[in-house]
Structure 1
Amino acid sequence: MYGSSWFSSSFLMVNEALGPGLIYFPAAYDQAGGVLVAISIQSILLVFIVAAIMILVYCSDLKQATTYQDVVLSVCGKKAQTGAAICLFWYCFGACITFLIIIGDLWEEFFLFVSKETYCHDKPVYMYRRFTIVVTSLLFILPLCFSKRIDSLTYASFVDVAGILYLMVIVAVKYFSQDPSDKPAYVKTKPNSWMDIFLVIPEICFAYQCHVSIIPIYSCMEKRNLKEFSKTVSVAMVLCVVFYTVTGVLGYLQFGHGITSDIILSFDPDVTIVIAVVLIAVKSCTTYRILLFCGRAAFDSVWNIALGLTPEVIEQRERKMRIVVTLIWFTITVVLAMFIPNIGVVIQFLGALSALLIFLFPGMCLMKSMLDQQDAVPKFKPNSNRIKFLIFFACVFLTLGAFIFGLILCQAIQKDLHGTKYKVKGDYLCMAEPDS
């Protein structure tokens, strides 16, 4: 028997969940109307986020499914599987673009620290954002994107979580060590409008979105059962909540209303911030590969169904398809990242897809599996009440998922119609005063 332990699996789970959402979280607190509102909404949504994970894992055991879309297939059928695979594909594709954009942002932060005068006025070609994205991707991401199993990234995930921990500690240290006179002039304690409380939902959905890799991680565990995986989920969720909440609360309280969308951008560059920049860049490279793995599996599912390929043919073509899809995926995401200036352009739409993957499809799986059990259980048996409750819970899941998806999508379209402007990070800092 081989595979990852429940403990190492928790770091794979944390590695996917902790990403662009962490550096974006303090700004989300400002949008929502302050710390209390944001934490309250986060706590409510966490109940459903964790429940969705356990639903997916439970359903995966019914027919030993190894991917998210295969879980949906085993419970809800081929049409639902195709829908889930398409949503999962576009989510992973968009998320990979955000990680490459972040890598470009982080290189700008590094060059601004090393030589702001050179970067802002007469920078050489190797300092250009597009150049750094391409070179970093070719050297540090592409060579490790061809793995067949997701647990090959286990050890890298330990390093990535250490990098996230470092960023959280830096935010906390800088908050508690700042001069009282530097406190922000205005920190929200309530939303400007009751509708503002919904503005934090896309960020929370995107931040805690680890559902796309849950089943591949679970299928690679040495001991595959709900009891072992509950340990994985507990450790991963505790770490995620601590990292997100501490960074969000202290980051927002330090800079207050008007905080930049990227918490790293808000700090004056120094050695400690540059170290954080390097660690977040390394983490972005690793998480890109996890998402590519899941997105590639989703594409394979749709492709194989469309062509009607048999399992034998799929196995014969697996290696060739893995290489071809990886190269095409990598090339397109790098090109798009070169021309998209800011993660704010895509994060709203990713939040909408996250709502479907977190709420709608798990709700469908729970509903269908409970209805199947209800048909097999006599009405007056003790299990019948439990099944009725879970059917009701599935209805709540489906309703909440549809509501959040529609809400986030409307928010994203509204922002796009209003022509929201997004600045490239380096351009923003170059316009700042030299001593800012």
Structure 2
Amino acid sequence: MSINSDLHLNFCTKSNVGSTESCETTPLLQNGTVQTRATGASFASSVFNLMNAIMGSGILGLAYAMASTGIVGFSVLLVLVASLASYSIHLLLRLCDLTGINSYEELGEKALKKPGKIMVGIAIVAQNIGAMSSYLFILKSELPAAICSFLSTENTENAWYADGRLLLILVTVCVVLPLAMFPKIGFLGYTSSLSFIFIVYFAIVVVVKKWSIPCPLPHNGTKLTSTFKISNASDSECTPKLFIMSVRSAYAIPTMAFAFLCHTAILPIYCELERPSKSRMQNVSNIGIGLSFLLYFISALFGYLTFYGHVESELLLGYNAYLPRDIMVMTVRVAILLSVLLTVPLIHFPARKAVTLLLFEGRGFSWRIHITSTLILLSVVLMLAIFVPDIRNVFGVVGSTMSSCLLFVFPGIFYLKISNQPLRSIDSAGALILVVFGVIMGAISLTVIIVTWIMNS
């Protein structure tokens, strides 16, 4: 049976006032057949899910990005990346309504046939594996220190709770795995709201602790960064820079792209949104990106104004060095760990979905496939988190390759191929700009990062 690509299904709900009906048009075509959406996630729950998909370990790397580009340079780049991210979501939602396809992978197949679907699937899996490994990396490095700081005991080096790898395995098995087993993303809305509260608390603490650490930074007994070495501390170190251009700037845009990438979760969240429509989902994405931008900018600005050129690639490490027993730092460390912990299952959802689409296309839901793919993905992520030496490498490589493709390149190419709009139209011109920007940004950043690795080695 052939079905036109513009097939839609109308959801009608009666208003409480009178007997009028309001109808939302929702596309439900996938693989040539009508698909039933799993609706039911509220608007607020969808916003929290989206913000949880956006925010995570990326917030810990943005202060380093500001130290690499300057306040004005960072602000311009952050606005640019956030705006392009929101616009690319707009294109994806337009394509979803235009074709009736509610899967990023299927959009790739519609635009570029089978190779397009495979490219998108691989990019989603690689991107989310990188994201989850960065989150678990934070757990590995921060959880032992958090436990030891609360216990306040001496000689904890040989204690089992001081082994980050052991704790990481225990947390993954006892917390991440059960949450990742949920078959629907809407169930994670409750944990996402908690994660958002933790991120807000982190931003508040970063602002408050700006006035608790002196500048120039003290030398006595402090752990200095491996990237920046303090020589003669002076007031010049405490002067914020507006524009900075250096090799380290190559990590800035990939880190921002990594921080704003939520596109792999957009369509799953759209599928389960209560009374789904493009305008309703666009409002979800606008609110989610806007609030994330605000929290990102505040935490990056005050984190930079606290440490200036000595910002660590993972912001919490600086507070650990200078305020190891501060109660707010200890509690915010736990809050970030919980936020990161609750984010991993949400990021796992689209990765598992991509794996099942690529390897088990056409099959219905199977608990055997569901459990097996979940266990394999988490095992790979766990191994990467154990052996990754520096979180900055994850931000740089994943951000300049997979994040760039999923956030900029793929939405632009898919819209140009599927929409058949003239190139002079606003959305077609915008799609072309997305593609050009994504390719140039990714190529330049990845080249500089690889050259830096070679020079350092």
Cα distance, 1:86–1:128 mapped onto 2, change above 3 Å = same
Q: Which residue of 1 aligns with 2:372?
A: 324
Cα distance, 1:74–1:3 mapped onto 2, change above 3 Å = farther
SS of equivalent residue, structure 2 residue 364: helix
- Residue 22 of structure 1 and its aligned partner are, at CA, apart by 0.6
Which of 338, 342, 357 aligns to 1:282? It is 338
Which of 317, 328, 332 aligns to 1:272? It is 328
Which segment is superposed worse, 169-178 or 83-92?
Answer: 169-178
- Residue 188 of structure 1 and its aligned partner are, at CA, apart by 4.5
- Residue 143 of structure 1 and its aligned partner are, at CA, apart by 1.3
C-alpha contact (below 8 Å) 1:187/1:257 kept by paired residues: no
SS of equivalent residue, structure 1 residue 200: helix
Task: Could you tell me which runs of 5 or more consecutive residues in structure 2 were left unpaired when the two chains were aligned.
Answer: 1-10, 12-38, 218-234
Q: Distance in 1 between matches of 2:215 and 2:352?
A: 50
Q: Distance in 2 between matches of 1:63 and 1:323?
A: 31
Mapped pair 1:156 → 2:156: no
SS of equivalent residue, structure 2 residue 351: helix
C-alpha contact (below 8 Å) 1:259/1:266 kept by paired residues: yes
C-alpha contact (below 8 Å) 2:61/2:392 kept by paired residues: no
Q: Which residue of 1 aligns with 2:34?
A: none
C-alpha contact (below 8 Å) 1:370/1:390 kept by paired residues: no
- Residue 401 of structure 1 and its aligned partner are, at CA, apart by 1.4
Mapped pair 1:200 → 2:252: yes
Q: Which residue of 1 aligns with 2:79?
A: 43
Q: Which residue of 1 aligns with 2:434?
A: 397
Q: Which residue of 2 aligns with 1:342?
A: 390
C-alpha contact (below 8 Å) 2:57/2:134 kept by paired residues: yes
SS of equivalent residue, structure 1 residue 25: helix
Mapped pair 1:231 → 2:279: no
Which of 118, 128, 131 aligns to 1:92? It is 128
Mapped pair 1:302 → 2:329: no
Q: Which residue of 1 aligns with 2:176?
A: 141
Q: Which residue of 1 aligns with 2:314?
A: 262
Q: After superposition, what is the alpha-carbon deviation per residue over 1:200-243, rounded to whole angstroms, capped at 9, x for unaligned?
A: 10111011111110110111101111221122112111211111
**What value does the CA root-mean-square deviation take over the aligned residues?**
2.2
Q: Distance in 2 between matches of 1:10 and 1:160?
A: 12
Q: Distance in 1 between matches of 2:100 and 2:158?
A: 54
Which of 284, 300, 313 aligns to 1:248? It is 300
Cα distance, 1:396–1:341 mapped onto 2, change above 3 Å = same
- Residue 192 of structure 1 and its aligned partner are, at CA, apart by 4.8
Task: Could you tell me which runs of 5 or more consecutive residues in structure 1 were left unpaired when the two chains were aligned.
Answer: 375-384, 421-436
Cα distance, 1:176–1:135 mapped onto 2, change above 3 Å = same
Paired-residue identity, %: 22
Q: Which residue of 1 aligns with 2:162?
A: 127
Which segment is superposed worse, 283-292 or 59-68?
Answer: 59-68
- Residue 146 of structure 1 and its aligned partner are, at CA, apart by 1.4
Q: Which residue of 1 aligns with 2:223?
A: none
Mapped pair 1:61 → 2:97: yes
Mapped pair 1:210 → 2:279: no
Q: Which residue of 2 aligns with 1:369?
A: 418
Higher share in helix: 1
Q: Given residue 169 of structure 1, which amino acid in structure 2 is its aligned partner?
A: I
- Residue 178 of structure 1 and its aligned partner are, at CA, apart by 5.3
Q: Which residue of 1 aligns with 2:229?
A: none
- Residue 66 of structure 1 and its aligned partner are, at CA, apart by 3.1
Cα distance, 1:64–1:6 mapped onto 2, change above 3 Å = farther
Q: Which residue of 1 aligns with 2:409?
A: 360
What TM-score does the superposition give when structure 1 sets the normalisation length?
0.85
Q: Which residue of 2 aligns with 1:377?
A: none
C-alpha contact (below 8 Å) 1:212/1:294 kept by paired residues: yes
- Residue 290 of structure 1 and its aligned partner are, at CA, apart by 1.4
Q: Distance in 2 between matches of 1:249 and 1:54?
A: 28
Which of 42, 45, 59 aligns to 1:8? It is 45
Q: Distance in 1 between matches of 2:133 and 2:248?
A: 27
Q: Distance in 2 between matches of 1:26 and 1:288?
A: 22
Q: Distance in 1 between matches of 2:350 and 2:440?
A: 26
**How many residues align structurally?**
397
- Residue 97 of structure 1 and its aligned partner are, at CA, apart by 0.9
Q: Which residue of 1 aligns with 2:444?
A: 407
Q: Distance in 2 between matches of 1:66 and 1:251?
A: 39
C-alpha contact (below 8 Å) 1:184/1:253 kept by paired residues: no
Q: After superposition, what is the alpha-carbon deviation per residue over 1:104-148, rounded to whole angstroms, capped at 9, x for unaligned?
A: 1221331442347423xx421331111111111111111111121
SS of equivalent residue, structure 1 residue 61: helix
Q: Given residue 280 of structure 2, which amino acid in structure 1 is its aligned partner?
A: E
C-alpha contact (below 8 Å) 2:176/2:341 kept by paired residues: yes
SS of equivalent residue, structure 1 residue 96: helix
Q: Given residue 270 of structure 2, which amino acid in structure 1 is its aligned partner?
A: Y
